[in-house]
Amino acid sequence: MSSMTHPVQLPDQPISVPRRAMDFEDYVDIVRRHRSWILGPAFAGLVIGVVTAYLWPDSYLATGLIRVVPPQVPTRLVQTNVSEEMTSRINTVYQNIISRASLLDLIQTNKLYTDELKRLPTDDVVEQMRRDIGLGNMQYMSRGAGIQQTVNAFSVSFSYSDRRLAQKVCLALITRFTEESIRSRASMSENTTSFLKDQYELAKRDLDEIDSRIAAFRTRNVGELPEQEQMMFSRITAMEAQVQAANGQISRAQQDKLQLEAQLRDLREQAQMLSQPVPESVAVPTMRNDRLIEAERDIERAEAALTTMRESYKDSHPDVQKLLGYIETKRKLRDQIVRDSEANKADASGKPRMVISAANQTRVKELSSAITRIQSTLQARDMEIEELSRQIKDSAAKLRAAQARLESSPGANQEYVQLMRDRSLIASRFEELGRKMQDSSMATELVNRGQGEMLEMLEAPVIPEAPYAPKRPLIIGVGIVLGFGLGIALAAGREIKDTSLKNLKDVRAYTKLTVLGSVPLLENDFVLRRRRRFGWLMWAAALVLGALLIAGAIAYYYMSRA
């Protein structure tokens, strides 16, 4: 459009002025002028969104639930020997399931990703399957109509283009989860039991070794052990008492020997005196007097011995009683001799004759027999004294050895105490390991019977009815919004580059002149019709092409789905 104004002298150099502030009419003019640049990208966005949405294959998501089954036997009765938490064990099992070998087995068994395997490396396909497998977080769920029961559960999902294969693979994943959990827990439990058993055997060997060392030490140091000190003291006291008793027996034997020797001398003297002939008239009285003297002498010696023994023993002692009985017998014999002598004096008469009376002869024989018995008794006493002396010598040697061993025991006691301390520690460790091994064996047996903590399928995956991806309305809406945004951006760019005056407002704003009139822009009708015809033709072709693309994408989707 040109304007009729007064001629103005313009400067030679171009000038730059800022754009004026636009109002609503200006924006409407911009949209009108650049409507093709706005509607074209918007339509292209619509076509691209529809084609993308319907050419994108459906993805079906199959989901199942796995619950954590608590041990069927209370933990206060059988403690578990697996310290790993269930969450950590689930993650470990999950890592084993999504390993390359496990996923390749699933791919080959179920014939998954056939198209991808033709154009992609195997590792890329395995990685894609890893992305398609989902593991939910542990959640607490309340189940049951009448009685609410809270269970710990988590979800396992698998996304695939075939809904039946998605359900089948999800079920296989849940089965592997439960089986791998049981196998993993049983393996960890058995490893713990095996470790404790090995430690128990090592502790048993150590205990047997220390017992052997203690036994050898006891054998080498008999009597020097701490618990044997009291026994050694008692033994030493007993040996000392034995020595004293043997000395007492020797003293008594020597006293008996002295008495027997005195009796033997007296008997020999009596036998010698009775063997001499005497007048017949006094034979009997003399014999009686000699017997009386002998009896008196025996009584005196016995009383002297009794006095000596009473200095050491009481009257209840057997030897004192024996000597008292002997004295009593001698006194009775003396009284009998006195009575016989008085009776013989009254009957004595006639001329004396030198003879050995029959009584003397009988007495001599008796004395000879008594002498023989006393000699035998003396020999027995000598042998007894000799045996007692030997016993005293042996006991004294043993006593000295025991005292020497007792004096040298402190060094052995220290080593023995150290050995016993080591044995106490090893025995405590052995008992503790035995108790732990027994508890671990019970826990392993519980796991092997399937009564421990394990995973169980709570809800089996079902065949999904509708795909969860792609979100076609969202994709189409995003395409339209992006197309409109691109069109607006192109229109704004063209408007910014266009510096021509569009209307009278621009003329007044930029020239600061008063506009008296305006002449519209005159163009060739033929050129104008051809331009319009070409524009409509381009729009028709674009619409037809876009409609064909949209229809083809939708038809391909429904045909492939059928």
Is 466 among the domain residues?
no
- Whether residues 249 and 124 fall in one domain: no
Residue pair 169/110 in contact (Cβ under 8 Å)? The answer is yes
Is 55 among the domain residues?
no
- Whether residues 70 and 150 fall in one domain: yes
- Whether residues 173 and 134 fall in one domain: yes
Q: pLDDT tens, 26-42?
A: 778 888 888 888 888 98
- Whether residues 411 and 450 fall in one domain: no
d(CA 259, CA 269): 15
- Whether residues 288 and 187 fall in one domain: no
CA nearest neighbour of 264 among 275, 256, 253, 276: 256
- Whether residues 43 and 69 fall in one domain: no
d(CA 7, CA 10): 9
pLDDT at 560: 78
- Whether residues 129 and 248 fall in one domain: no
- Whether residues 366 and 453 fall in one domain: no
Q: pLDDT tens, 281-308?
A: 444 444 456 677 777 777 878 777 777 7
Is 277 among the domain residues?
yes
SS3 432: helix
Is 222 among the domain residues?
no
**Could you tell me the pLDDT band of residue 262, with boundaries at 50, 70 and 90?**
confident
Residue pair 483/43 in contact (Cβ under 8 Å)? The answer is yes
- Whether residues 323 and 396 fall in one domain: yes
The residue that leads in pLDDT, 345 or 367, is 367
Q: pLDDT tens, 477-498?
A: 999 999 989 989 988 888 888 7
The identity of residue 485, as a single letter, is: G
**At residue 170, does pLDDT exceed 90?**
yes
Residues in the chain: 562
Residue after which a domain boundary falls, among 408, 435, 459:
459
Task: Point out which residues pair with 151 in neighbouring strands.
Answer: 141
What is the extent of the structural domain holding 410? 230-417
Task: Look up the pTM and report it.
Answer: 0.53
Is 361 among the domain residues?
yes
pLDDT at 420: 82
- Whether residues 125 and 30 fall in one domain: no
The residue that leads in pLDDT, 116 or 520, is 116
| CATH code, domain with 151 | 3.30.70.1130
Number of domains in the chain: 3
- 464: cis peptide before it, omega within 30°? no
Helix (H) or strand (E) holding 139: strand 139-143
Is 440 among the domain residues?
no
**At residue 56, does pLDDT exceed 80?**
yes
**At residue 79, does pLDDT exceed 70?**
yes
- Whether residues 271 and 144 fall in one domain: no
- Whether residues 391 and 529 fall in one domain: no
Residue pair 92/187 in contact (Cβ under 8 Å)? The answer is no
Mean pLDDT to the nearest integer, 314-336: 78
Is 210 among the domain residues?
no
Q: pLDDT tens, 119-152?
A: 889 999 999 999 999 998 887 766 654 445 567 8
